[in-house]
């Protein structure tokens, strides 16, 4: 089934010039980039996107990090897009991510792990709305 998902190349992925390589991985996996924008995440967007983490020890650092520089926001579609993007990203902690995954190849530390991707179809719908509007 064709799905849409939200993914974002985080500030470290942009600063370290991994945009093209990451987009190529999505396209090579049969996914389509439907929308894409290079911009900074506003504090309001970051707070809305990471609401489930509010109160956790890493929350303030996460908000500061994701708003610290430009990101690439994307709506990606394709057969099983949510799970396919999650597989391409690899484990959240780059030290645990398999070689060949985005985080395994480009991630350096847990706090700056190159990429964000929706974890479900429901999250994708909510996150697309946060970053691209209704």
**Residue 90 φ/ψ region, left for φ over 0, alpha for ψ in the -120 to 50 degree band, beta for the rest:** left
Structure tokens at 62: 């996460």
Is 53 among the residues known to form the active site? Answer: no
Q: Which of 116, 124, 127, 130 is catalytic?
A: 116
Inter-residue contact 117 to 123 (CB < 8 Å):
no
- Output the DSSP codes for 21-66: HHHHHHHHTT-EEEEEEEEEPPHHHHHHHTGGGTTSTTHHHHHHHH
Positions marked active-site: 116
């Amino acid at each position: 089934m064709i799905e849409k998902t939200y993914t974002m190349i985080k500030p470290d992925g942009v600063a370290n010039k991994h945009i093209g390589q990451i987009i190529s991985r999505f396209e090579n996996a049969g996914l389509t980039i439907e929308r894409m924008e290079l911009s900074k995440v506003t504090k309001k967007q970051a707070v809305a996107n990471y609401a489930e983490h509010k109160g956790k020890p890493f929350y303030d650092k996460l908000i500061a990090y994701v708003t610290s520089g430009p990101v690439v926001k994307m709506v990606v579609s394709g057969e099983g897009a949510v799970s396919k993007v999650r597989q391409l990203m690899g484990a959240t902690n780059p030290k645990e991510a398999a070689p060949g995954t985005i985080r395994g190849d480009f991630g350096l530390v847990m706090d700056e792990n190159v990429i964000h991707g929706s974890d479900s179809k429901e999250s994708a719908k909510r996150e697309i709305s946060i970053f691209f509007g209704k």
